[in-house]
Amino acid sequence: MLTESAHTRYARPGGVEAGWFLPVGWVMVEESERSAGGEGPDVRFEATVLAPDAGVSAFAVAERVAELDLDRIPDPEGGVRLLIDVDECVALLDRGFEVRLRRAVPVRPLDPQLIAGDDEVQAWFDERVAGTEEGQAT
Amino acid sequence: MYRTVAQLNNLMGQLAGFFPQIVTRLRMPEPSVEGRTVYALRLRAGGGGARRGVLLVGGTHSRELMNPDLLVELAVDLVVSCVTGNDVTLGRRTWPAGDIKVILETLDLYLLPCSNPDGRIYVMNVDDMWRKSRRDNPGTPCDGVDLNRNLDFMWGVTQGQTSCSPCSDVYAGPSAFSEPETRNVRHLLDTYRIDCFADVHSYSELILYPWGHAPTQTTDPSQRFTSLPTGTCQPIGRPHQEYMPPQDLQRFQTVAQRIVDAIAAVRGRAYTPQSSLGLYATTGTHSDYAYSRHIANPALRKVYGYTFETGPWMGNVPDSFHPPDPAPIKEEAESGLIALIQQCICAIELIGARFLGREDEVGVLRRVRDQVFATTPAGRDWIALYERVQTPLTAVVLEDEGLARRAADVLARAGDVFADEEAAVPPDVVDEALTILRQLEDRAPTDEVRADLRSLRPVLEQAADRSTSDIVERLMARGPQTGGQTAE
């Protein structure tokens, strides 16, 4: 059995309004893990950025983009890839960059299916320590 | 699948409860900005003090979800292997139980799996792309500090991906170490002996080492970060290439390559070792801070700081930060972390401390290595050879107490001789060293180690009655060559 502090409650993963009544898929969370939502944008965009003039290197583009303090993420092709909201996209366009929106990335919680259940976590630990005795050491 | 903060904390508690002789769950001195307790683990088996230490940090960036799970899994695997004597098998790479035992019996390992619990909770419940902490930034509608910009290394210099704007995802915070989450990391570095460090991030399959703020150069010691202004909210603003002693750069590169090799051995993924700047320019990062401490304050110990960027590009950003199946990535990263930990063992220091109970002779040999050998390419090749063979041979030596004591005796006598550069090496010391070398060759675990040991033989055979200065001069001019010869 998982045991934790008095703050521990059980909630369905992935929702701000996590259910307190459904037994399936419940996981161990702290009461305070059920955070309130933020006030940011509803959607961001994964975008790649190019300079308007041909022949400008990715390095030079990156230096100019850095002035905008944006959320730069590694780009598999060595270019400049960003996670931006609409206002940031506009700022890039205003500065003359060519912005290619690759996909929308909605602001939402982690897919609940990606969050481990308590039983699964405990089973993993039990399996790993199988064959040892509590308190055993070399 | 990703574990909640409560599940991670619970696993750490269970591990400490199950194996109290090896595992201690440490409560960090400061809770997170939202008041959550932050835990670390200390792993050590056997007795003895004054050990070298390794600190691994995960969860700094909230959305990089794999790494807190990875560090807890690493802790469980190491401890269970040490207790059961079973190897740690990660894909196609097997770490022998003997190697794991040596790690836990010779080092102190500190793991801070989830340094930013508030952020992880926010990612799971509100915004799966959240990067920063959950600090409220007064007077702005924006929350959060980028914890990997908040440390006291070039803090507030907005080189590249660093910002003084509270709304930026790379906001450095209102001052260096303004955040409890980073102060907890500093606490571990200040409180315990730490020699090797890694901050584990995602993604892009990189093993990064300093520097992140400027290009690295090894020829002009006058170009140091200590001469640059900080807190300016401006880029450096003039040409600057940061100095790093060549032996340190070699060490970073050598160890990074070992990490990359250990990762590739799991399922063939090719991580790239490079300086942090190669990703993009940054200031205030964990790994640069860890390494810079001894430069900013020479009274502090040198810490070799790395950043792991685990996992590949998965075709889109969310899947790259939290892949649907992180298990293979965690396996290979765990192998890389074990390689890093293993590289932190210093065989000579260990044998000196354990069997001589003093550091005098070891200190002489260390000075010869760092202040003499490290100054030429051939000398650095000898250091690289030593670093290649020391880990596999440590396990061999520690399994045979008689051999270990004889090795310690030779070590002590060599230290005495090398303390006087005009002293001649006594023939009986050379004979004993050759005997030990033959025994090590017989028991070496791989052909590569045997080949490295064979390249030492001609050096030893010619060492009797020669002055130490003559021997050092020859070694610094001619590097090792496997096959029994030395190269010009």
CATH code: domain of residue B271: 3.40.630.10
In this structure, the number of other CB atoms found within 10 A of the CB of residue B232 comes to 15
Question: Is B19's CB within 8 Å of A137's CB?
Answer: yes
pLDDT greater than 60 at residue B122:
yes
Amino acid in position B128? D
Q: Verify that B219 and B264 share a domain, yes or no.
A: yes
Tell which residue, B405, B402, B389, B401, has the closest CA to residue B346. B389
* Strand ranges (E), B232-271: 242-243
**Full-model pTM:** 0.87
Is the CA virtual torsion A26, A30, A33, A36 positive or negative? positive
Name the band, by pLDDT with cuts 50, 70 and 90, for residue A135: low
Q: What is the pLDDT of residue A134?
A: 67
Mean pLDDT of chain A: 75
B181-200 burial, b at 16+ Cβ within 10 Å, e below that, comes to bbbbbbbbbeebbbbbbbbb
A:B CB pairs within 8 Å: 183
HEC letters along B73-133: HHHHHHHHHHHHCCCEEECCEEECHHHHHHHHHHEEEEEECCCCHHHHHHHHHCCCCCCCC
Q: What is the pLDDT of residue B61?
A: 98
Q: Verify that B353 and B331 share a domain, yes or no.
A: no
Average pLDDT over residues A98-119: 96
pLDDT tens-digit readout, B258-268 = 999 999 999 99
pLDDT greater than 90 at residue A23:
no
Any A CB within 8 A of B114 CB: no
Name the band, by pLDDT with cuts 50, 70 and 90, for residue B114: very high
Decide: A108 and A37 in contact? Cβ < 8 Å: no
A54 to chain B, closest Cα gap in Å: 22
Question: Is B84's CB within 8 Å of A132's CB?
Answer: yes
pLDDT greater than 60 at residue B313:
yes
Residue B110: CB partners within 8 Å, gap ≥ 6? Answer: B26, B40, B41, B42, B53, B54, B55, B56, B188, B192, B194
Q: Verify that B102 and B57 share a domain, yes or no.
A: yes
pLDDT greater than 90 at residue A25:
no
Average pLDDT over residues B28-32: 98
Name the band, by pLDDT with cuts 50, 70 and 90, for residue A2: very low
Q: Which domains does chain A have, with CATH numbers?
A: 1-37 (no CATH), 43-106 (3.30.70)
Average pLDDT over residues B69-86: 97
Suggest the residue from B25, B34, B129 to mutate for an interface test with chain A (most A CBs closer than 10 A). Answer: B129
Q: What is the pLDDT of residue B227?
A: 95
Nearest to B4 among A27, A40, A44 (CB): A27
Suggest the residue from A16, A73, A81 to mutate for an interface test with chain B (most B CBs closer than 10 A). Answer: A73
Question: Which of these three, B293, B327, B343, is where a domain ends?
Answer: B343
Nearest to A28 among B4, B80, B126 (CB): B4
Nearest to A35 among B45, B80, B121 (CB): B121
Suggest the residue from B37, B78, B126 to mutate for an interface test with chain A (most A CBs closer than 10 A). Answer: B126
Question: Is A37's CB within 8 Å of B160's CB?
Answer: no
B172 to chain A: nearest residue by CA?
Answer: A69
Question: Is B125's CB within 8 Å of A8's CB?
Answer: no
Q: Verify that B329 and B356 share a domain, yes or no.
A: no
Question: Which of these three, B343, B358, B380, is where a domain ends?
Answer: B343
pLDDT tens-digit readout, B140-184 = 999 999 999 999 999 999 999 999 999 999 999 999 999 999 999
Q: Verify that B326 and B273 share a domain, yes or no.
A: yes
Q: Which domain holds residue B297?
A: 5-343
Q: Verify that B319 and B358 share a domain, yes or no.
A: no
Q: Verify that B320 and B469 share a domain, yes or no.
A: no
For residues A121 and A101, give the distance between their C-alpha atoms in angstroms, rounded to a whole number.
38
Q: What is the pLDDT of residue A1?
A: 35
Residue A71: CB partners within 8 Å, gap ≥ 6? Answer: A82, A83, A84, B131, B168, B169, B170
pLDDT tens-digit readout, A46-94 = 999 987 777 778 788 888 888 889 999 999 988 899 999 999 999 999 9
Please state, in angstroms and as integers, the Cα–Cα distance from residue B102 to each residue in B122, B385, B390, following that order.
39, 20, 12
Q: What is the pLDDT of residue A10?
A: 37
Q: Verify that B386 and B311 share a domain, yes or no.
A: no
Q: How big is the CA angle at A45 (ends A43 and A50), to the nearest 5 degrees?
A: 155
Question: Is B5's CB within 8 Å of A30's CB?
Answer: yes
Q: Verify that B309 and B351 share a domain, yes or no.
A: no
Question: Is A109's CB within 8 Å of B128's CB?
Answer: yes
Average pLDDT over residues B340-358: 83
Any A CB within 8 A of B42 CB: no
A83 to chain B: nearest residue by CA?
Answer: B317
In this structure, the number of other CB atoms found within 10 A of the CB of residue B378 comes to 17
Chain A residues touching residue B322 (CB < 8 angstroms)? 110, 114
Q: What is the pLDDT of residue B348?
A: 80
Nearest to A114 among B1, B45, B170 (CB): B1
A34 to chain B: nearest residue by CA?
Answer: B125
B18 to chain A, closest Cα gap in Å: 5
Q: What is the pLDDT of residue A39?
A: 57
Give the residue, B346 or A13, on which the prediction is more confident: B346
Chain B residues touching residue A81 (CB < 8 angstroms)? 317
**What is the ipTM score, two decimals?**
0.87
Name the band, by pLDDT with cuts 50, 70 and 90, for residue A30: low
Question: Is B1's CB within 8 Å of A115's CB?
Answer: yes
In this structure, the number of other CB atoms found within 10 A of the CB of residue B61 comes to 26
| pLDDT > 70 fraction of chain B, expressed in percent and rounded | 99
For residues B455 and B485, give the distance between their C-alpha atoms in angstroms, rounded to a whole number.
6
Q: Verify that B32 and B44 share a domain, yes or no.
A: yes
Tell which residue, B438, B446, B458, B442, has the closest CA to residue B389. B446
Q: Verify that B310 and B368 share a domain, yes or no.
A: no
Q: Verify that B330 and B361 share a domain, yes or no.
A: no
Amino acid in position B296? A
Question: Which of these three, B343, B363, B392, is where a domain ends?
Answer: B343
B453 to chain A, closest Cα gap in Å: 32
Please state, in angstroms and as integers, the Cα–Cα distance from residue B47 to each residue in A132, B171, B362, B399, following that order.
21, 44, 21, 16
Name the band, by pLDDT with cuts 50, 70 and 90, for residue B350: confident
Tell which residue, A4, A25, A23, A3, has the closest CA to residue A14. A25
| B 86-105 residues inside an 8 A Cβ radius of A | 101, 105
Any A CB within 8 A of B281 CB: yes
pLDDT tens-digit readout, B318-327 = 999 999 999 9
Any A CB within 8 A of B319 CB: no
Question: Is A46's CB within 8 Å of B317's CB?
Answer: yes
Domain count along chain B: 2
Average pLDDT over residues B215-240: 95
For residues B469 and B477, give the distance between their C-alpha atoms in angstroms, rounded to a whole number.
12
Give the residue, B241 or A29, on which the prediction is more confident: B241
Mean pLDDT of chain B: 93
Q: What is the pLDDT of residue A26?
A: 45
Average pLDDT over residues A7-33: 39
Q: What is the pLDDT of residue A5?
A: 37
| pLDDT > 70 fraction of chain A, expressed in percent and rounded | 67
Q: What is the pLDDT of residue A17?
A: 31
